[in-house]
Structure 1
Amino acid sequence: MNTMTYKGYTARIEFDDRDNILVGRLLGIQDIVSFHADNVADLRTAFEEAVDDYLETCAKLGKKPEKPASGRLMLRVPPEVHSAALVAAQAAGTSLNQWAAKVLAQAAHAG
C-alpha cells in the first residue's frame, strides 16, 4: 500500500487512471479528507495542506479533530480464540494485552 504520514495522520495514495492524477485520502477517521495532484511533490504539499485545513476547520467549528487511533481497541472474538490467545500470552509470560499488542504490530507490519 502506498501511504504518506503527516502530524500523525496517514493517507492512502492511489493513481486515478481516468484523470491521470494521484489521489489521497486520510485513513482511520470517519471524516472524509481527500486531496490530489499531478506529481508526488505536489501531492505531498496537497496532503499537508489537507491535514492542516482539516485541523483548522475543526478548530473553527469547535469540533475535536478525529485521531486515527487512541490506543484503545475493543475486540469481539469467538471464545475459543480468546482462550487460545490467553494461553499463548501466559505461555509467553506476558499479559494478554501485551501479547495482543505484539501480535497485532507484527501482523500490521507484515502486510
Structure 2
Amino acid sequence: MNIMTYKGYTARIEFDERDNLFVGRVLGVKAIIGFHGETVAELRTDFEAAIDFMIEDCRIRGETPARPYSGKLMLRLPPDVHAHAAMMAEVHGKSLNQWAAEVLESAR
C-alpha cells in the first residue's frame, strides 16, 4: 500500500500514468485534501504544505483541525458473529474491546 503520513494524517498515494504524476489524497477527514508532485520529494513537500495549510486555516478561523479518527468505533454485526467474538475474548481472558483492538491491530 502506498501511503504517506505527516502530523498524524495519512494519505493514499497513486501514480497517474496519463499525467506522469504522483497524486495523493488525505484519508479520514471530511475535507477533500489532495496534492501532487512529479517526484516523491515534490509529493512529500506538497502533502506537508497541504496539512500545514489546513491546520493554519483552522487556527485562523478558530476551529480545531479535524483529526482523522477518535479511537472510538461502533460496529453492527450479525448476532452470531458478535457471540463468537465475545466467546473468543473470554477464551483469551480479555474484554471484547481489548480482544477486538488486538485483532484489528494485527490486521494492519
Deviations 1:11-66 (A, max 9, x none): 10000111110001101111110100100011111111010001111122222221
Q: Which residue of 2 aligns with 1:25?
A: 25
Residues of 2 paired with 1:62 and 1:32: CA distance? 20
Residues of 1 paired with 2:29 and 2:81: CA distance? 28
Query: Helix, strand or coil for the counterpart of 2:28?
Result: coil
The yes-or-no answer on 1:49 pairing with 2:49 is yes
**TM-score, with length taken from structure 1:** 0.93
Runs of 4+ in 1 over 3 A off after TM superposition: none
Aligned-residue offset at 1:86 = 0.2
Query: Helix, strand or coil for the counterpart of 1:13?
Result: strand
Query: Helix, strand or coil for the counterpart of 2:82?
Result: helix
Q: What is the percent sequence identity of the aligned residues?
A: 58
Structure 2: segments with no counterpart, 5+ residues: none
Q: What letter corresponds to residue 32 of structure 1 in structure 2?
A: I
Residues of 2 paired with 1:58 and 1:10: CA distance? 18
**TM-score, with length taken from structure 2:** 0.96
The yes-or-no answer on 1:7 pairing with 2:7 is yes
Q: Note the aligned Cα RMSD (angstroms).
A: 0.8
Count of aligned pairs between the two proteins: 108
Residues of 1 paired with 2:10 and 2:55: CA distance? 14
Residues of 1 paired with 2:33 and 2:96: CA distance? 35
Q: Which residue of 2 aligns with 1:75?
A: 75
The yes-or-no answer on 1:84 pairing with 2:76 is no
Q: Which residue of 2 aligns with 1:96?
A: 96
Q: What letter corresponds to residue 7 of structure 1 in structure 2?
A: K
